[in-house]
Amino acid sequence: MYNVCCNNHIIYLFSWHNSPFLLTQERHLDLEAPEVLARVHSLAVSLENLGERRDAAAFYRRAYEGRRKGLGDEHRDTLDSGLNLASCQRSLGEDAEALELFKNLLEGTRDHQGR
């Protein structure tokens, strides 16, 4: 179990699938709601700071995929989650996956800038 401080509340995370915070939020909000995805991303940052990179990667992936669907590939929040996911994957030794994601993110920003 982890104690994670997020927005001045203590949240107890038991695992990626049964976090009381996420379960509570998911009952009341759409899973792709920006507020929920912002919390998911914040939890990933906290877990990564605690050294729990594998769990952090799962939260980053969830935030990234939800933000891609809800906000689009070129939105700043989507890019933030994608970059953090790729960095986390790299730190886990998942170099091929990280490189592919970095390339996709770079290509998306180039397309957005018209280059």
Q: Note the pTM of the prediction, 2 decimals.
A: 0.73
Any domain includes 54? yes
Residues composing the chain: 115
Task: Report yes or no: 96 and 85 within 8 Å, Cβ to Cβ.
Answer: no
Any domain includes 4? no
Any domain includes 23? no
Any domain includes 52? yes
Residue with tokens 């800038």: 113
The proportion of the chain whose per-residue pLDDT surpasses 90, expressed as a percent, equals 57
Tens-digit pLDDT profile for residues 76-96? 999 999 999 999 999 999 999
Residue 52, domain extent:
31-113
Any domain includes 99? yes
Q: Domain containing 88 — which CATH number?
A: 1.25.40.10
Number of domains comprising the chain: 1
Tens-digit pLDDT profile for residues 92-112? 999 999 999 999 999 877 665
Residue 85 half-sphere exposure toward CB, CA atoms < 13 A: 26
Any domain includes 6? no
